[in-house]
Amino acid sequence: MSIVVISGSPRKDGVSGQIGHWISDTFYTDHINLSATNIPLFDGAEQTKLHPEVTEFLAKLKKGTGYIIISPEYHGGMSGALKNALDFTNASFFEEKHVLLLSVAGGGKGGINALNNMRTVFRALYAEVIAKQKVIDGNSFSHPETKRELSILINQFLEKIHTPNRWKFGGAMGL
């Protein structure tokens, strides 16, 4: 079982990246921090798809059997960096694989639109997006209670992935 965390913020010091690093260190997952990449803009051209940053991203992504996706909410949706990176993928990366969605929003407002936007895109990629999701206030990530709540959610996600029959016939809807 290989869980891949994708931090979707283009900001080098973004909270999404901090959360991704924390998850990776705490739960021993792989971590792709998009702020540390130079993935070109998706234009559909074969030459762009063969760009070294794209092939490296896709190779890391392909190893995943489950995914935790983190994005800040920008103008009512996921970050452009995350959407651009996902545009290089197709259903073969995510089909029937489990995805947990997390959003980061500042000041206690927002986040739900980014979660809905990500849910729509991952469902289009045939991912098994779990029902539970979380908005994390960027100002509260350093608080122990926030990390405790996030740990509970991630542990539930990991438990569901390791118990495949619980996903059949309504099991996934409970998480």
Which CATH number do you get for residue 140?
Answer: 3.40.50.360
Is the model's pLDDT at 172 over the cut of 50? no
Domain count, the chain: 1
Whether pLDDT at 109 is above 70: no
Reported as a pLDDT band with limits 50, 70 and 90, residue 131 is very high
Domain assignment present for residue 172? The answer is: no
Per the structure, the complete domain to which residue 71 belongs is given by 3-164
Q: Is residue 97 part of a domain?
A: yes
pLDDT at 19 over 50: yes
Q: How far is residue 106's CA from residue 119's CA, in Å, rounded to a whole number? A: 20
For tokens 């100002």, the residue is 139
List the structure tokens of 132: 């539970």
Asked whether the predicted pLDDT for residue 173 surpasses 60, the reply is no
- 160 in a domain, yes or no? yes
Whether residue 72 contacts residue 38, with contact meaning beta carbons closer than 8 Å, is answered with: no
Q: Has residue 169 been placed in a domain?
A: no
Least confident of 60-69, 118-127, 137-146: 137-146
In this prediction, residue 167 has a pLDDT band, given cuts at 50, 70 and 90, of: very low
Indicate the pLDDT class of residue 25, thresholds 50, 70 and 90: very high
pTM over 0.85: yes
Q: Residues 160, 165, 166, CA angle at the centre, nearest 5°? A: 45
Q: Does residue 75 sit within a domain?
A: yes
Does a structural domain hold residue 121? yes
C-alpha span between 16 and 147 (Å, rounded): 13
Burial class (CB in 10 A: 0-12, 13-18, 19+), 154: buried
Does a structural domain hold residue 174?
no
Which residue has better confidence, 33 or 174? 33
What is the C-alpha to C-alpha distance for residues 119 and 121, in angstroms, rounded to an integer?
A: 6
What pLDDT, on the 0 to 100 scale, is given for residue 165?
56
| 171 assigned to some structural domain | no
